[in-house]
Amino acid sequence: MDEKEFLKKLISFSEKEPDAERICSEMLSNYGNINSILDSDRIFYPRDIHMREQTAVLIGVVSAINRKCNAEKTVTKYIKGTDHAKKYFENCLRGYIQELIKTVVLDRNFCVLDSKLISYGDRNSVSSVCRQFADIAVMHKDAKYMLIAHNHPSGNPEPSSNDMFYTHKLVKAMGILDITVIDHIIVGKDKSISMKDICDENIFPQVKGYAYK
């Protein structure tokens, strides 16, 4: 069964022909493939394509199951390099319509000690975000490093001027606590970007033993 047949079969639980065929074709045309559909938030479905609310809910349930499966892939003991970090954060953050920011605290051997997910939209000030990150870091006496990531719901992972500003401040704030921020990963629709790889300025210190790309 190809992805069009799968999607049409799913939609057929709540839509009759010819609507099921139309909705299936329009969704694949708008989103490209089944993975992009499941990565999207169901709030957009009725807005983009005329369908019953039950259909959007049904696809949303399947999408939630898909995200749950992806979340299970994020269970990891170590993050030792850029490629590993990108894959980890993609599984955590891809497909959300709101900006979210996630931090992971590591020990000197890059073992994951803890992580925290917050709404990027709630960042009333950089000090508020720094405080939340500091709270999780100081809970672990072995905390040495930190990785930061956030998603761009627009799909474009290029860092904005705000991203650069906040990253500068976060790196400095964590440095006061003797926590080294290794990298800031930005998750887009089809790819992720390491700010360490593209920043002209020397924001992130080089960490020995961490596998940069």
Tens-digit pLDDT profile for residues 81-93: 999 999 999 988 8
Q: What is the mean pLDDT of the chain?
A: 83
Q: Which DSSP state fits 139?
A: T
Tens-place pLDDT, residues 123-169:
445 667 778 888 888 889 999 999 999 999 888 999 988 888 889 88
Rounded to two decimals, what is the model's pTM? Answer: 0.69
In the chain, the percentage of residues whose pLDDT exceeds 70 is 83
- How do strand 180-187 and strand 145-151 relate by DSSP bridges? parallel
* CA distance linking residue 59 with residue 36, whole number of Å: 12
* CA distance linking residue 109 with residue 30, whole number of Å: 44
pLDDT at 53: 80
In order, the DSSP letters of 34-62 are HHHHHHS-GGGHHHHS---HHHHHHHHHH
For the record, the structure tokens of 71 come out as: 């979340």
For the record, the structure tokens of 6 come out as: 């799968």
**Is the pLDDT reported for residue 66 higher than 90?**
no
Q: Please compute Rg for the chain using Cα positions.
A: 20
* CA distance linking residue 16 with residue 194, whole number of Å: 46
